């Protein structure tokens, strides 16, 4: 069995400022966030990509993830585009 490789995503340029705290949000299946060394602040522009499914957060593996996927996730988070994505070096 090969190891699961997590994905680290970096997003560019904030489109809008969100003033809600992460604790105040209600999550729905398919929501995404960036976890930076345990911090899941909505201000994170870099971190391990996580997705909310069935009432829990799970990490996204790098298999099959593309530049287009990275750009779509960053736009979903309120950023203009992705800067980079790849394997974690310090997570």
Residue range 41-57, pLDDT digits in tens: 878 888 888 999 888 89
**What does the domain layout of the chain look like in residue ranges?**
8-86
What was the pLDDT predicted at 13?
A: 56
Tens digit of pLDDT for each residue in 66-79? 888 888 888 888 88
**pLDDT at residue 58 is higher than 60:** yes
- pLDDT > 80? residue 82: yes
The pTM of the full predicted model, rounded to 2 decimals, is 0.71
* CA-to-CA separations, 53 to 14, 29, 56, 67, in angstroms, rounded: 25, 5, 6, 23
CA dihedral 80, 81, 83, 87 (to 10 degrees): 130
């Amino acid at each position: 069995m090969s190891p699961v490789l997590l994905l680290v995503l970096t997003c560019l340029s904030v489109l809008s400022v969100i003033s809600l705290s992460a604790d105040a949000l209600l999550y729905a299946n398919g929501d995404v966030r960036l976890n930076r060394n345990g911090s899941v602040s909505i201000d994170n522009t870099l971190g391990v990509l996580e997705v909310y499914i069935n009432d829990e957060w799970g990490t996204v593996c790098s298999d099959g993830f593309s530049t287009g996927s990275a750009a779509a996730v960053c736009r979903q988070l309120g950023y203009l585009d992705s800067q980079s994505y790849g394997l974690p070096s310090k997570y």
